[in-house]
Structure 1
Amino acid sequence: MTTEPFDISSWPPSLTPIQLEALTLYATTYALSHGLLYLLPGPQPAIPSAAIHAPFSLFPSPFPRKLFETGKRIQRTYNVLYARIAMDEEFLDRVMGTKTGVGKVDDFIGQLWTGWKQLRDEGLAQHLHLGLFRSDYLLHALSNQPLSIKQVEFNTISVSFACLSQRISELHRYLLSSTQYYNCSPQLKPENLPPNRTISGLAEGLAVGHKAYNVQGSRILFVVQPGERNVFDQRWLEYELLEQHSILIIRQTFEELAHSAIVDPHTYILRVSCSTDIHPSGSIEISTVYYRAGYMPNEYPTPAHYATRFLLERSKAIKCPTIALQLAGGKKVQEVLAQPGVLERFLRDEKRYGKDGIFSEHEVNELRSTFMAMWGLDVGEDLLTADYDSISSGKEGFGLLKARNDAHALVLKPQREGGGNNVYKEAIPAFLNSLPPQERQAWIAMELIIPPEGTGNYLIRAGTIQAESQAAVKADVVSELGIFGYALFGGESREVKEKEVGWLVRTKGKDSDEGGVATGFSVLDSLLLVDS
């Protein structure tokens, strides 16, 4: 007996007003009781005294089971791919450096690359890299073709919302167990809500780095942003590290580390000074530096901030990520990977990686199938008025002219993380007119992913002390799937130890182009696996 494919546009199921109010109360009180929290907006006191629940969806969002399994499967290929990119200095110099790459036109990238190059010339004290990764996807729906997943981006620094994503997954399971969602849909059953263990998975990744450092009494340093509202997403990792791995952490900002971080000039051991009231020795040896900050230019307002980053990089501590791995996550690298033969360089080259290190043609093609078309904007001013039809791909001028002509179906991306940085569709021509020619190399054009139409959900956002919380608001939505992984790699063997470790879903109103939760565009969500 065959089952009819699930119609994603039929979501969410219908509820009566009384059912909706009851579910909203169940959900918000569960969120507040189980640490699905943000600190309040505004300046943060030294000791927090109030919090609100993070924004979330009332229902899990439908997602094709086979495509979810595909995303989990290829994460392990992506883990190895980006590890190998980070170890390929020649490739990163060419693509991201200040001589031929993005670094010559993007000051932020240029500063990071220049500091990394100087440290390489001096001789790096630590050759191991640690990465906590997240690969983000949208469903792609073309007429008369089956649904597919297409990659939005691959994140190599400060991947967030892993812990709160586990909590929202547990919230939806709780609603199903406690209310059966009032039997509003036969799809809502336990076997369609996949388990999510991102807290233990990412903590395991950090513990792998800590254990590779192998010094008793050392701790993991969390480099954090001042006034961080999303602190609970980080604290759950801290608790897991202590409870399951007996590893302690210390949290400091770049500003604090400028005064507290010391690298021994002979051993390159990184120590963070502290009061003897906190630690008897007055300093703590650091095994692993975990960045939840440092991915945006505004986090380096002075040369001293860059100096602090390079001081940490100079040390013997294992960095998550290294500057090399942060550069590997640049959008320009994503674009170059889509060019013919580049994936084969990293995944199919037996001379580089040996017979046991190469991936099958099928595995490479499966990963490549998640790419959208991408190209760079680095073109010459003299071809701005050239005839579009006379220019073929790869010639000077093609990228910019194609972006102008196809703007309605594109997004422009800079080398930035964190949301709110992209330029979309109708806004592209005016932006291109204002973009100095020397800055074009820092941007890529990417064809827009076309998500399925008609999917909805109820979105719940908390208010503040001054304003009451919103009720659940029904909206047409788009959901983005993120798959997490970790990798420890480098050293003499250049071996990559990696694992796929969980997932998240972020859901936004369909009229919003951006997708960040912390930036206010999206809510946290979880999966309802369906057969499509």
Structure 2
Amino acid sequence: MSSFDFSQWPPKFTDIQLTNLVQHATTYALAHGLAYLPAIPSQPPAPSSVTHAPISLLPAPVPRALFRKAQRLQSIYNDLYARVATDDDFLDQVMGAEVGVGQADEFVRRLWKGWKEIREEGIVQPLHLGLFRSDYLLHTGDGHALGLKQVEFNTISSSFGPLSEKVSAMHRYLYALTNYYHGSPHLKPENFPPNDTISGLVNGLAEAHKAYGVPSAYILFVVQPDERNVFDQRWLEYELLEKHGIRVVHRTFLELATTTSLSGPSRTLLLTVPSNSIPIEISTIYFRAGYAPTDLPTETHWTVRLTLERSHAIKCPSIPLQLAGGKKVQETLSQPGVVERFFTTLESSVAASATAELRETWMPMWALDAENLPTLPTSFPDVERNPGEPLGTTFARRHAENLVLKPQREGGGNNVYKGNIPAFLEALPAEERMAWIAMALIVPPAGIGSYLARAVSGAGGAGQNKEDEERPKLVCVETISELGIFGWALFGKDEGTGVVRKERGDVGWLMRTKGVESDEGGVAAGFSVLDSVVLVDG
């Protein structure tokens, strides 16, 4: 186990110290764009007010060796998922509508069928761009030393990198201003790891733009309507323009329905904009929307999504790369011998080392429709099969308290946990089991806490006291923190292997913290706050 005592975190502060920290943190956040648009329906098109993003007053402790391990692994994960995304046969088998998850999941089915049609008519852009994030929790289970376990690997809309950089800077500011009132010997500058996520992610976008080869082209950000998390995107836009001279345009799917066209045999993506007399050319499409069925509710939305995919612009992600991020792919890779097939072109010792390191980060996983299960820890004893039910479903039912069920979804709020699993399985149609996986729960260190600050909405709704409008709400609760490591890859097929063309392993990181009573972890979904890291020994 780690020599650091997690149960003694956070250090204690007086009420006046906490009041001062909240004041300094929230004003810093507002002054430095660590902000959201408020949830006010009457907000005009040009925003006139903001609220600070949900934040932690203190960084979360992470053992130094495990943090470095997560950073080192990112390059391996970038390479792996580039190979997965360029293996058509594998994705057809795992995610397809004929034999894979697409049989049971309408959203996956439509993505896969659209991609299949585009393959048949001819793909005009062989390059893919991935802005990735691999998410981890610290794990204390199985009687071993404190370890690092992967929650998931994100291939679409891997958000909060820019705001994570801002909250890291905020924590350094609070230290410089107050020395955190000498509350902990761990809170010192050398234990605050650098976080340059904005430039790291932007370098990936800029490399795609450069590979496209038209300097005057724009990068298109596809965004959700009424997006509150706009500043996380704007910081990328500003860096692209200021450091690389690349311009960005933001559009929703519906806005694109009437303003885009494909030109010529190469299917150049052109976009009409009110400020230009001629259409602008798009080099790269960065999807901050399109990861959930609610993003594509009509045929018009789907038509736009597939039009973008057909174009010559480099997609971030392409449909196959989006499919590669499916939970079923994560589960399939954990099966014996599967991940090894993607590293056959590497030197054997390199492939063996990479495979071993990846497998160390995976919890046991299986499909609900599985008849053969992985080797499970002793906390998962064998159970008698229910007649007429797949073994994977029976195991999930009997061991529900140690599990989470995951569908093929991103964005938070989609999983089913512990005590809710048996009733969910009773209601789940048999034909939909294929779309779900079971994963053993990661067991983070117990007793750790933090101070979490959220802004109270200033919308003036019923039951809200006027004096509470926009007042920060601070709570000190027991918490769980989730570490995300960012990386990028620009890649295409190389004799069918999908070897990465250009990639950058660790380009920054994100820490999200939530109360232990919350199973889900999304910031935008309202479960977590943005945090940073303090490195500890042990």
Fold similarity call, TM over 0.5: yes
Q: In the TM superposition, what is the alpha-carbon distance from 1:359 to its structure 2 partner?
A: 3.2
Give CA-to-partner distance per residue, 1:106-151, whole Å, 9 cap, x none: 0000000000000000000101000000000001012642110111
**Alignment check: 8 A CA contact 1:388 1:401 kept:** no
Partner residue in 2 for 1:479: 481
Correspondent of 1:370 among 354, 361, 365: 361
- Deviation of 1:389 after TM superposition, in Å, equals 4.1
Alignment equivalent of 2:319, drawn from 320, 323, 328? 323
Hey, what's the Cα distance between the residues in 2 that align with 1:362 and 1:323? 30
Structure 1 unaligned blocks of 5 or more:
381-386
The residue correspondences of 1:41-440 to structure 2 (distance < 5 A) are 41-43=39-41, 44-142=43-141, 144-275=143-274, 278-281=275-278, 283-347=279-343, 349=344, 353=345, 355=347, 359-378=350-369, 389=383, 397-440=390-433
**What is aligned with 1:520?**
526
Deviation at 1:24, TM superposition (A): 1.0
CA deviation after TM superposition for structure 1 residue 464, in Å: 2.2
Q: CA deviation at 1:472?
A: 2.4
Aligned residues of 2:51 and 2:470 also touching (Cα < 8 A): no
Q: Give, in angstroms, the shift of residue 79 of structure 1.
A: 0.2
- 2: distance between equivalents of 1:470 and 1:240? 30
User: Aligned-pair distance for 1:181?
Assistant: 0.6
Instruction: Report how far residue 42 of structure 1 moved.
Output: 3.5
- Equivalent AA in structure 2 for residue 297 of structure 1: P
Aligned residue for 1:427, secondary structure, equals: helix
How far 1:264 sits from its partner (Å)?
1.2
- CA deviation after TM superposition for structure 1 residue 492, in Å: 4.7
Aligned AA for 2:49?
A
CA contact (8 A) 1:12 1:457 kept: yes
- Hey, what does 1:384 align to over in structure 2? none
- Cα deviation digits, residues 235-291 of structure 1 (max 9, x gap): 00000000111100111000011111101142310000122xx1242x110000000
Q: In structure 1, how many angstroms separate the alpha carbons of the residues matched to 2:382 and 2:24? A: 58
2:464 corresponding residue in structure 1: none
1:19 positional shift? 0.9
Aligned Cα root-mean-square deviation (Å): 1.8
Distance 2:118 2:435 in 1: 24
> One-letter code of the match for 2:40?
G
Partner of 1:5: 3
Are the equivalent residues in 1 in contact too, given 2:73–2:357 (CA < 8 A)? Answer: yes
Quote the Cα distance in structure 1 between the aligned partners of 2:246 and 2:429: 49
CA distance in 1, matches of 2:164, 2:494: 36
Secondary structure class of the residue paired with 1:461: strand
Task: Tell me, yes or no, if the aligned pair for 2:403 and 2:439 is still in contact at 8 Å.
Answer: yes
Match of 2:374 in 1: none
- C-alpha distance in 2, partners of 1:137/1:476? 18
Q: Is the 8 A contact 1:24 1:471 kept in 2?
A: no
Shift of 1:6: 1.8
Aligned to 1:21: 19
1:498 alignment partner AA = E
Deviation sequence 1:145-173 (CA, Å, 0-9, x none): 21101111000000100000000000000
- 1:454 corresponds, among 423, 427, 447, to 447
C-alpha offsets along residues 505-530 of structure 1, whole Å, 9 cap, x if unaligned? Answer: 00000110000000110000000100
**AA in 2 matched with 1:309:** R
Match of 1:39 in 2: 37
Matched residue of 1:431: which SS? helix
| 2:378 aligned residue | none
How far residue 388 of structure 1 moved from its aligned partner, in angstroms, is 6.5
Does structure 2 retain, via aligned residues, the 8 Å contact 1:97–1:110? yes
SS at match of 1:474: strand
- Stretches of structure 2 that go unaligned for 5 or more consecutive residues are 372-380, 461-468
- Aligned equivalents of 2:297 and 2:243: distance in 1? 37
CA deviation profile, 1:71-122 (whole Å, cap 9, x unmatched): 0000100000000000000000000001110001100000000000000000
- The amino acid of 1:455's aligned partner reads I
Contact 1:388 1:398 in 2 (8 A): no
Larger deviation, residues 494-503 vs 33-42: 494-503
Residues of 1 paired with 2:349 and 2:251: CA distance?
Answer: 40
Whole-Å Cα distance in 2 between the matches of residues 126 and 530 of structure 1? Answer: 45
2:525 matched to 1:529? no
CA contact (8 A) 2:78 2:132 kept: yes
- Equivalent residue, structure 2, for 1:510: 516
Alpha-carbon displacement from aligned partner over 1:436-481 (angstroms, at most 9, x marks no partner): 0000000000000011100000000011223242342111000000
- Cα distance between partner residues in 2 of 1:130 and 1:160: 15
C-alpha distance 336-300 of structure 1, shift in aligned 2 (>3 A): same
The CA distance in 1 between the partners of 2:510 and 2:526, in whole Å, is 16
Does the CA-based 8 Å contact 1:379-1:396 persist in structure 2? Answer: no
- Shift in CA distance, 292/91, structure 1 to aligned 2, threshold 3 Å: same
Q: Is the contact made by 2:340 and 2:351 (CA closer than 8 Å) also made in structure 1?
A: no
Q: Which residue does 1:383 correspond to in 2?
A: none
Aligned residues: 513
Alpha-carbon distance in 1 for matches of 2:50, 2:383: 57
Report the more deviating stretch, 490-499 or 520-529: 490-499
Q: Higher mean Cα deviation, 35-44 or 449-458?
A: 35-44
SS in 1 for 2:523: coil
In the TM superposition, what is the alpha-carbon distance from 1:17 to its structure 2 partner? 1.0
- Counterpart of 1:370, as a letter, is T
CA separation of 1:233 and 1:53: change in aligned 2, threshold 3 A: same
Report the CA distance between 1:390 and its aligned residue: 5.4
Cα distance in 1, alignment partners of residues 244 and 152 from structure 2: 31
Q: Between 283-292 and 142-151, report the one with greater CA deviation.
A: 142-151
Structure 2 counterpart of 1:366, one-letter code: E
- Amino acid aligned to 1:359: V
- Write the letter of the residue equivalent to 2:393: L
Asked whether the equivalents of residues 162 and 197 of structure 2 are also in contact (C-alpha less than 8 Å), the reply is: yes
AA matched with 2:367:
G
Assess if the C-alpha contact under 8 Å between 1:63 and 1:528 holds in 2: yes
CA distance in 1: counterparts of 2:383 and 2:451, whole angstroms: 46
Aligned residue identity for 2:364 = A
User: What is the distance in 2 between the residues matched to 1:61 and 1:354?
Assistant: 37
SS of the equivalent of 1:262 reads strand
Corresponding letter in the other structure for 1:441:
M
Cα distance, 1:304 vs structure 2: 1.5
Quote the residue 2:463 is aligned against. none
> SS at the partner of 2:151?
strand
Q: What is the DSSP-based 3-state SS (H/G/I as helix, E as strand, rest coil) of the residue aligned with 1:42? A: coil
Question: SS state of the match for residue 221, structure 2?
Answer: strand
